[in-house]
Amino acid sequence: MFKKICLTALSAVSVFAMHSAEVNVNNSDLELSARLDMGQFSDNIEPDTIFLGAKYLNADERHSDVRSIDDYQELNFLMQREVSTDFRLGIGAKLNHTKDFVSIPFGVEVVYKLPVTSIIPFYVGASLYAAPEVLSLDKADSFLEYRVTLEAEVIQNAFITAGYRHMDTNYERGDVEYNESLYFGLKVLF
């Protein structure tokens, strides 16, 4: 099953004109994500402002507080604007799912280019998404996710990423820390 998902994700990267594709790993988790820049498909939308994406996380029990954990899938939407040449701000929504958990969190994302005078540009990013009880479906009670990343653009449009993610999938029967871990990865812009 895992091989099929990886092959499908790699095929999608080559078929579509994606704005970004990202792979994040640590000793036991694998995260695949992709975002389409809708400005590439429509002249009515400015480039780098509206994104549709998907994410898949194959998480391990070692980074959770439960014994058995199901894979996490997500569809996401982000509207973003450039506040200054070094700062981007975005607001978005997600539809996420695990076995008995569905929620629709809203959130914010920021990216800041560090004013480091080196030949490799560095970026700091952060995101916060939350879904209260009213936006939690199935057996879900609430959802909270926050991330912090540091990216280095080693080649134009190719990044090495290091980050921290914390995801709480709180159920009606009790709170579950779905995943809390450090990771590193690669990100490519198209």
Query: Mean pLDDT, to the nearest integer, of 116-126?
Result: 91
For the segment 131-184, what is each residue's pLDDT rounded down to a tens digit? 999 999 999 999 999 999 999 999 999 999 999 999 999 998 888 899 999 999
Strand ranges inside the chain, DSSP E: 20-25, 30-37, 50-58, 72-84, 87-98, 101-103, 106-113, 122-131, 136-138, 140-155, 158-171, 177-189
- The domain made up of 2-189 has a fold known as Lipocalin (2.40.128)
Residue 10 has pLDDT above 50, yes or no: no
Model confidence at 3, pLDDT cuts 50, 70, 90, reads low
pTM value surpassing 0.95 = no
